[in-house]
Amino acid sequence: MQALTNRAKAVDRRPMTLAEKMYIPAIAKGMGITFKHLFQKKATIAFPEKKRDFSPVFRGLHVLNRDEEGRERCTACGLCAVACPAEAITMEAAERKEGEENLYREEKYAAKYEINMLRCIFCGFCEEACPKDAVYMSETFAPANYQRKGFIYGKDDLLIPHPKEGK
């Protein structure tokens, strides 16, 4: 039977010499590889002091955007939640009341907006599905946490600070 690829190697079955039995050539070859890598550029980065440059298309943590006047852009249409293949986004809509025109851009707003980052696969479909440009993915990666509830981000965690008030 003929091999499918030409990568097959013939096995050498002759008896080993004394140097081969003592593994001296293998040890010397391994030490040569070690010394070769000793003087090459390091692949790791000293993290807290130096930050790694990410790709321009990197998709990190989600952010809820505001408009120029500081009002929330999200209208709780639910398109981001429907587009999410991992079903990581949940939201509840509410009607805007009198006197809240400076807080919410449209008549309807997201009273509750949560993203479960343990389920999120960072695909970016939520960002593409949003008609109001309210959801975008930042260049920040998800921090570590010791509890599962720390990975469920609510509206107050996702909303960018108010441009005029700073909160």
Binding residues, by number, are: 74, 77, 80, 84, 120, 123, 126, 130
DSSP letters of the chain?
A: ---SSS---PPP-SPP-HHHHTTHHHHHHHHHHHHHHHTSPPS---TTTSPPPPPTT---SEEE-B-TTS-B------HHHHH-TT--EEEEEEEPPTT-TTTBSSSEEEEEEEEETTT-----HHHHH-TTS-EEE-SPPPPP-SSGGGGEE-HHHHBPPPTTT--
- Write out the binding residues for [4Fe-4S] cluster: 74, 77, 80, 84, 120, 123, 126, 130
